[in-house]
Structure 1
Amino acid sequence: MPQLNTSTWFITILSMILTLFIVFQLKILKYNYPETPTLKLSPLSEKTMPWEKKWTKIYLPLSLPQR
């Protein structure tokens, strides 16, 4: 049974790792990352809901005057 020749494994694995590193670096370089995020201060304004614009009163049976 012949022995497995492993003399070229080191250079093969090393070149594969180097190639993968270069490919990933090129992939990452294609993305545009935003600069440091800035804080936007939104004006504090009270928003009225549609049901707050109209005056309504709910008459419950228990709130009616007793007879």
Structure 2
Amino acid sequence: MPQLDMSPWPMVILSMVATLFLITQLKMLNFTLHTTPSPKLTKTQKHKTTWELKWTKIYLPPSMYQ
């Protein structure tokens, strides 16, 4: 049974890793990274609601007689 010659394997593996690294680097060059958006200064408007215009009383439920 013939033996498998393993001498070229490290060179094949190293060249494959180098090729994959170069391909990924070239793919990453095509991506445009977006910068973080700058915060916009907006004026907050105070809206008056009906429950802010008048005072309301919160009643407790009636207690049960024992």
TM over 0.5: yes
TM value normalised by structure 2: 0.60
1:39–1:5 Cα change, 3 Å: same
RMSD over equivalenced CA pairs, Å = 1.9
Deviation at 1:5, TM superposition (A): 0.6
TM value normalised by structure 1: 0.59
Runs of at least 4 residues off by over 6 Å: none
Other structure's SS at 2:24 match: helix
Deviation at 1:40, TM superposition (A): 2.0
Question: Percent identity of the aligned residues?
Answer: 43
**Unpaired runs of 5+ in structure 2?**
51-66
Q: Number of aligned pairs?
A: 49
